[in-house]
Amino acid sequence: MVAYLFALRQGRWGIAGFGAIAFLITLLNAAGFYQVAGHTTAEREAFARSIDVLAAQFSVIVPPPMRPDTAGGYVQFRAYGALAIAFAIWALASASAAARADEERGIVQAVLAAGISRLAFVASRAGAFAIAAMVAALAGSAGVLVGVASGGESISAAAALEAGLVLVALALCCYSLTLLIAQFTGARSATPVAAAVLLALFLVNSLSRTFDWLVAWRRLSPFHYFEQSSPLVPGETMNVGATLVLLAIAVAASALAAIAFRYRDIGSPLFSLPTPSRPASYEVSRSLAWRIPVVRELYEQRVALLVWTVGLATLGAIFVVLTKAIVEPLLTIPGLARYFSAFVHGDVYPSFLGLIWLSFTQLLMAGFAVTRVARWSAQDSDGRLELILSNPVSRAGVVIERVVVLAVEALIIVSVSGVSVWTESHSQSIDLDRGRLVAAMLLLVPFTLVFGVIGALLASRVPRATVGLLGILVFASYLITQLGPIFKLPTWVQDGSAFKLFGQPLTTGVDQTGLVISRLGAGDGAPRHRRLTPASYEK
């Protein structure tokens, strides 16, 4: 019981943050439905037809909606589709922290030294996350009920609870898979490897709606089983069989992770490649890579940087192909011309590419900034920061080097991704403006720095809550762009979103006002060099 309570205490920020996210996203989407769909039957039928036609073309990214003319169907489509991704990210971060980050901090060793077995340790972490996910999912269910009630309607409480249960099953499945993967990787590579696997599983399921050869493989994806249940849709219920499959995968993966953890050494993967033995040496490395500021950080993170670069470049090429497949059928439907005018500016192909690829890339670059901030927070708490400062390196120098490294890494990633998109667009006969493509790629650098600098500020103040708070900020910034026009939020509120300030550089060029505000956020928000060490936190 003590192990469970300790695990819950460690995850309290995640419970609070993702509980708030779940409540807000379901509440705002449910309330927003009455703003965009209207109240009469004719208005809702017209709204449903427009959603069905457009969503069918975007089924490569999101599953087709069911009964979008109802509040339940709309919330199932809009809110729970986003929550599935949010809870998967939460599961990834929590499991990798439990399996690897806590080992580097010495927390796992302390728990095991208290007499708790390794199997009990894994069970306590998985059980605590199950409770945390359930609390957050219940908050989402409450948001559905409150949002629908605000429109003068009602929805079954049982349906709202079933939607939350399916979400918990998906989160547990992703958590257990990450926990299992972490047993076979090093401490530093656990998170990126697990993230790559979960992203691949997500894309296998999503792309199977467009590429028939992937249909047979989508049964391997937990997201496929999540989409089998639509309890909020009138006349639909939770798919018990698919939900049990998710829970079975979670139990099996957790059991395998516990067995693997039992037989591996703390701090080491279960299997490692044989390396020639050599005597221990305490000599300072003669490699120049460790002596040059910025270069040393890039060298240390070279594998993770390579994974991010190759991953985003590959996704960019895939999205160019998908844009071609999406736009061609749309151009044959004359009735969609009035819908294009609402959100497409300029040529259709670049507009859709910016709408799909750049939006997805923004989310990934924000996620990249969060991973780097998580690393800074870990350095503050595991003693590495003290070692860096003892070299000696000034505290201001540490902050500046971190920000410069993040900028260089972002520049490398977006540059390669831009080349990939440019090359593939030519092979697909899509005419892109080279100058605007370069501007869009360069604009992603200050976009990433905005979240990186805010994260650095949080890491210097509340290191243990930094990742959760930054994740909430990223989500809120994205949510403003989605719901701001629906609720007609003031312009100054919408301009507070980095996603809104990014604009549509592929079609309308760079928004100079947005660029200035982003630069101010990345520059003037830089943290001052105070309270950077754990000793400072105690004062």
* Cα dist from 310 to 182, 186, 206, 381, 439, whole Å: 21, 20, 20, 31, 21
Q: How far apart are CA 220 and CA 242, in angstroms?
A: 12
User: Any residues with CB less than 8 A from the CB of 60 and at least 6 apart, and which?
Assistant: 206, 207, 209, 210, 322, 325, 326
User: Does pLDDT of 517 surpass 50?
Assistant: no
User: Does pLDDT of 518 surpass 50?
Assistant: no
Q: How far apart are CA 491 and CA 488, in angstroms?
A: 9
User: Any residues with CB less than 8 A from the CB of 317 and at least 6 apart, and which?
Assistant: 420, 421, 423, 424
What's the token pair of residue 417?
Answer: 């991704």
What amino acid occupies position 149? A
User: Does pLDDT of 483 surpass 70?
Assistant: yes
Query: Residue 334 has what pLDDT?
Result: 55
Query: Does the CA dihedral 229-232-238-243 come out positive or negative?
Result: positive
Q: What is the pLDDT of residues 269-313, one digit of tens each?
A: 887 766 666 676 667 667 777 778 888 888 888 888 898 899 899
Q: DSSP string covering 374-399, please?
A: HHHHHHHHHSHHHHHHTTT--HHHHH
Q: What angle do CA 97, 101, 107 make, to 5 degrees?
A: 100
CA atoms within 13 A on the CB side of 535: 5
Report domain extents, the chain. Answer: 1-269, 289-539
User: Any residues with CB less than 8 A from the CB of 274 and at least 6 apart, and which?
Assistant: none
Query: Residue 179 has what pLDDT?
Result: 94
Pairs from 468-475 (Cβ < 8 Å, separation ≥ 24)? 468/13, 468/14, 468/16, 468/17, 469/13, 469/17, 470/369, 470/370, 470/373, 471/17, 471/89, 471/90, 471/93, 471/370, 472/17, 472/20, 472/21, 474/366, 474/367, 474/370, 475/21, 475/86
Q: What is the pLDDT of residues 389-440, one digit of tens each?
A: 777 778 788 888 889 999 999 999 999 999 999 998 888 888 888 888 898 8
User: Does pLDDT of 318 surpass 80?
Assistant: yes
What's the token pair of residue 90?
Answer: 């939460």
